[in-house]
Every structure is written in structure tokens, then in C-alpha cells.
Amino acid sequence: MRNFDIIVVGGGHAGIEASIAATQMGCSVGLVTMDKNAIGRMSCNPAIGGSAKGHLVHEVDALGGFMGVIADKTGIQFRILNKSKGPAVWAGRCQSDRKLYSQEAVHLTSSFSNLEVIEDSILGILEENKSVTGVKTQSGKEFKCKAIIICSGTFLNGLMHTGLSSEKGGRFGEKPATGLTESLINMGFISGRLKTGTPPRLKKDSINWEILEKQNGDENPKPFSLRTDKNQFPFLPQISCYITYTDRVVHSILEKGFDKSPMFTGLIEGVGPRYCPSIEDKIVRFSEKERHQLFLEPEGLDSDQIYLNGFSTSLPAEIQAEAIQKIKGLENVEMVRAGYAVEYDYFPPYQVDLSLETKLITGLYFAGQINGTSGYEEAAGQGIVAGINAALKIQKRPEFILKRSESYIGVLIDDLVSKSTKEPYRMFTSRAEHRLLLRQDNVDRRLLKYGYEFGLISKELYNEMKERESFISIGKELLSQTKILPNQINQLLESKNLSEIENAETIDKLAKRPGLSLKEILILVDQKESMVYNNLIDKNELLEQLEVEIKYEGYIKRQEDLVIKTEKLEEMLIPLNFNYNNLKTISTEGREKLSKIRPHSIGQATRISGVTPSDISVLLVYLKS
């Protein structure tokens, strides 16, 4: 029997981050996966990032994780989404080479001497006195450990559906994980069922590309990772994606298969993702829509398969094929593989704490889809937090909990624990009440200190961040003091149909004007010989960040003031063994929810669904007394 500090169950995006973070913090880690070559395999869309999800990738990177590093090395198209909107919602996205992404993940996990990849499947958890002691595997082996992180993805009793036929599996061509759910239930955990889906894959050469709308990547792409060498980026040739649409004819064909849809006939018990619905879901829920947008995304540079994003379905294969050939550009398309839905076990996340350690068993952590989330990025964010916390627990150091006001990962975990979920949880910028403070451009200033503290970020990278922070601070002060004369800028203002100035104005005030960029103003300043000004003009990324902070200064200050107010509630701690049954004057639902979730603070208690303001008032009075 071998001993490890930590066992990580599952080699997906959560498992990768959990195992690498823990091993870099000095722990010995056993990463158990059913297929060594499937580590980091993209089950669904071959892409990383997107709206709000891009924020998560940057945050994982700032904490010392590797999703952004792998994405940068294997990306074949990079774009910043939502550039026409405010900076709070700008988000990076990359189309990935599916095969290369997994290969890079396999190579990465094998490069750490204290991380051993074990090809097996976990049958059950071993525990004594409500603390983990090890795991037992399908092959009959046992491994002793001090902590376990379960990152099982869609594999727990996975069942794949296409039409009325179903097949056991967590992903196309791969077996389900059996036994672990039952082991956890026997320990007292509550389980549920969720479902997700994937679209058909199409043969590249059978598509009429000429008549489709091309979607190019950015001309000057930006990497996800702070550790990526920008002089070599992008590492791979960049290619285009394409856009097409369904129509009423396509919808009518799909409707013919509704009587054989596992979703509509009740074969699928699990709840699907509200915000990433299947194509049959879209037709029913948005019946007034004439068409739905579809994206044709290459699966890799050398792949002959195209991912039909937006057409997730579990309808019969023949219906899928018939409908697809009525879509513009796909009239003669060959369907390589039909879309399918996968149903799997999860454990409602009120059963974990904000550290992602389970409340029932000490040393046991859940991360990723086992907590009811959907998406690679949400999984990676949970994975690195679980990995850090498992290592900290073994080292007898304080647990690591990210606040809602400092990260999207904090919002994600707090939502899961405080509100739980009955459907796959997906991150959106709208879920973050302080999103103007949680931008992509300032992620290093928010989170790099933690990655450095845990030994996951180098001192060199941390010092570079401190220099950038100092530079921005000095720049803001300088621009608030330096004035520009009317004869220097009025010609520029007139060319942009902006009102001219009559008296000298400070640069920061002028930079707040819509349609006027900070760089355009700086070029006009007389102090061109100044090293500070030259640096400001030359450092585009810092200039962009400085400009955001100047233009949105009032809004940012308002959110910072709100954070200060809400932090007072977060600092009002509630003992974890607090007996809510003593609160006779609060609502029955409030008492039940508080007893089940056991919030750390009054702030967290206020976010629990079913706990009313009057319940909080009673709780405050009781705690003070």
C-alpha cells in the first residue's frame, strides 16, 4: 500500500489544477485517472474562456494555475469578446487544438517529480472518525492519504443518450465511474442527477465554406497567462471560425424527433443547463425566434472534424443528420458523430464549505462538476482552490477563502455554497455585484499576492506586478496634476465633434470624455522628453488599464465604498457549531437553511435563499447577546 499526502480523483481541468497546486506546495500527490492519455481532454467545446469564463482563466493563472498556460500554447484563434461594451465584461477566448491541449496537459502533469499519475478508478473512500484515511480502487489496490479531492466530471454513473438509445459512459468512447457515488451516499452525502450535452461533429471537407460568414481572431491576440512569452505568442498558426444559422425548416425537422427525444420522453432525469440549452430546448423555449446562430469551429489544425457550436442535442441521429443538411453551407455535409446528452451524478454543493472541504468528512474536497457546475473554467477555478486548501490543511496553515469582492472564483464558490444549485451552474459577469473591480486587466493586482504566498508564483513575476502597480499609481497622480492647454487639444476635439475647452484642463479630466483616448491626449503633451510620459505611451497594456481606472473612476470608487460596507458583515463571524434551533423567532425556512449551510459570517447568511432580513436581524441580536 502506497502513501500520499493527497489523492486527486479525476484528470480533467479541476484535477489538473488541484494536483499541480498541491504538489508545488510540497505535497506528494497521486492523480488517479482511468486513462493517462485523457488528462485534460476536452469533452465538449474545444475552446477556453469566453464571457466571464475568460475572467476565471486569468484568475486561475494569477493564483499559479496552468489552464491559461496550456491554452496559450495550444490556441489556434484568440479573441477578446465584448470590446464594444464596458471593460468589466471584456473577456478573452481562444479556440483550442483539442488533441494538442490534452497532450500538453499530459506532458505537464508528468513533469512534477512529486506527482504520480495512477491509471485506475476509485471505488470508494476510506475514513475513520469522519476523517479520510485513503481510497480503494477498482483494481483492488488501496492508497493511504491525508486528503482527497474528487474531480470526477461527468463520469459518476455516467449515461449517454442519443434518441431512445442509451449507453453507459462519461464521455464518448469512455467508461463511467461506478462505486464512488454509492460510497459517498453510504457516508451520509446527498446526491442528485444533472445532464449536459454536446453537438454533432462534422467532416471538414464536406462543408461549403465559401458561402459562410467568416469569424476571424484578433489581429494582435493577447495571451491568457502572465507567464507566456509574448515574443513567441501565438505559438501556433491562427485560423478562422465560421457562422451560419438554423431556420424554420430546420426547426420543423427537429420537431419530428421530439417524440423520440430522451429529454421529452422522460428517459433523462437530470436537469440540463439553463444558459447553454440544447437545440430542441431552444426551439421550445424560444418558439418565436425564426433562427438560431451556429458556430463552425475547427477541432484542431490537423483534425478533419468541425464542432457545430450551438447545436447541442440528444435527438435521434437520423433526425440530426436530416436537419443539419438544411442549414446554409451544410447541404452536403457528412456527420462524423452524432450529438448526445450525458447524465451523471453530482452532490448539491451546500455540502461543502467555502474552502471546498466537505462539511461531513474532514480532509475530503469536491471540485468541478461534482459540485453542480458546468464548464472547464469553473472546474479549474474550483480545482486550484481545493488543491491549495488541501495542502494548507496538511501543513496546518489557515484555509484559503476568496471573497466575492476580489475574484470571480470567490463569487462562484460563494454562490455554490450559499445558494447551492439544482441545475448546472455557469459563470456570468452579471453574477458578480462588484464586476467593475474584477476586470481581466487588473487580475494580477488582485490575486498574484496569493499565488506568491503559496509558492505558486515566482518572486520575479510578483515583483513585476508590484512595479506595474506602482507605475499605474504614479501615472494616475501625474495625470491628475498635469494640465493641457486649449491650443494643444482643441483641434483634436473638433475632429471628434467634441466640445472644445476654453481653459487649461487636467489630462485625467479630459480622458474621461467618451471617444477620446488617453494615448491621443498624451501624444499632444509638451513633456515628450519626460521618461514617465514616454513609458506611458509605449506600454499599451498599462496605458489601457490606467485609462480604464481614470474613465470609470467614479463607478469604481462607488463599488469600493460598497465593498467596505459589505465587508463589515463578512467580518461578523458565526461559530460553525452555532445551534440555530435556539432561534425560535426566525422563520422555519430560515432556520432550516441556516442549519444546512452553516454560513461562516452574517454576510454569507444574507445571501442564502430563504433567509429573510428579519431572520438576519434576530441572528444579529442573538450573536451580540
- CATH code, 610: 1.10.150.570
Confidence tier at 257 by pLDDT (50, 70, 90): confident
The domain boundary, picked from 342, 373, 404, lies at: 342
d(CA 161, CA 339): 9
- Reference 344, options 195, 494, 152, 508; nearest CA is 195
* 131-137 and 142-144 beta bridge pairing: antiparallel
* 29-33 and 6-9 beta bridge pairing: parallel
308 contacts 202 by C-beta, under 8 angstroms: yes
The domain boundary, picked from 424, 453, 482, lies at: 453
Task: Note whether 34 and 167 are same-domain residues.
Answer: yes
Numbers of helices and strands, H then E, in the chain: 22, 24
Task: Note whether 44 and 73 are same-domain residues.
Answer: yes
Task: Note whether 184 and 323 are same-domain residues.
Answer: no
Residue 273 DSSP label: P
Stated pTM of the model: 0.93
- Predicted pLDDT of residue 543: 83
Query: What contacts 27, CB < 8 A, 6 or more positions away?
Result: 5, 6, 114, 390, 391, 394
Q: Is residue 399 part of a domain?
A: yes
Residue 432 clears pLDDT 50, i.e. is over it: yes
456 contacts 64 by C-beta, under 8 angstroms: yes
Between 83 and 410, whose confidence is greater?
A: 410
Q: Is residue 142 part of a domain?
A: yes
Query: What contacts 284, CB < 8 A, 6 or more positions away?
Result: none
- Predicted pLDDT of residue 529: 46
- Cell numbers placing 414: 460563494
- Cell numbers placing 319: 433526425
Mean pLDDT, rounded, for 417-427 = 91
- Predicted pLDDT of residue 220: 92
d(CA 188, CA 364): 13
Mean pLDDT, rounded, for 231-250 = 96
Type and span of the H or E element at 533: helix 531-538
Distance of CA 277 to the CA centre of its chain: 18
Query: What contacts 519, CB < 8 A, 6 or more positions away?
Result: 537, 543, 547
- Predicted pLDDT of residue 444: 95
Q: Is residue 590 part of a domain?
A: yes
Number of structural domains (the chain) is 4
Radius of gyration over every alpha carbon of the chain, rounded to an integer in angstroms: 26
d(CA 239, CA 127): 51
Q: Is residue 563 part of a domain?
A: no
The domain boundary, picked from 308, 342, 376, lies at: 342
Cβ count within 10 A of residue 103: 18
Q: Which domain holds residue 592?
A: 571-624
- Predicted pLDDT of residue 284: 87
Render pLDDT for 521-554 as a digit per residue (tens, 0 to 9).
888 875 554 555 566 656 677 888 888 899 998 8
Confidence tier at 306 by pLDDT (50, 70, 90): very high
d(CA 578, CA 598): 8
d(CA 364, CA 398): 16
Q: Rounded mean pLDDT of the chain? A: 92
Task: Note whether 11 and 106 are same-domain residues.
Answer: yes
Task: Note whether 320 and 252 are same-domain residues.
Answer: yes
Q: Is residue 562 part of a domain?
A: no
d(CA 274, CA 284): 13
Of 241-245, 337-341, 576-580, 603-607, minimum mean pLDDT range = 576-580
**Omega of the bond prior to 223 within 30 degrees of 0, cis?**
no
Of 45-54, 216-225, 351-360, 472-481, minimum mean pLDDT range = 472-481
Type and span of the H or E element at 309: strand 305-309
Task: Note whether 144 and 30 are same-domain residues.
Answer: yes
- Predicted pLDDT of residue 466: 93
387 contacts 22 by C-beta, under 8 angstroms: yes
- Torsion angles phi and psi, residue 358, rounded to 5: -70, 150
Task: Note whether 284 and 351 are same-domain residues.
Answer: no
- Predicted pLDDT of residue 172: 85
Task: Note whether 337 and 470 are same-domain residues.
Answer: no
Residue 266 clears pLDDT 70, i.e. is over it: no
- Indicate which CATH number applies to the domain containing 214: 2.40.30.260
- Predicted pLDDT of residue 270: 63
Task: Note whether 174 and 75 are same-domain residues.
Answer: yes
Between 577 and 229, whose confidence is greater?
A: 229
Q: Is residue 134 part of a domain?
A: yes
Burial class (CB in 10 A: 0-12, 13-18, 19+), 582: exposed
DSSP bridge pairs for 194 = 271, 344
**Residue for grid cell 451523471:** 344
- Indicate which CATH number applies to the domain containing 158: 3.50.50.60
d(CA 603, CA 438): 19
Q: Is residue 86 part of a domain?
A: yes
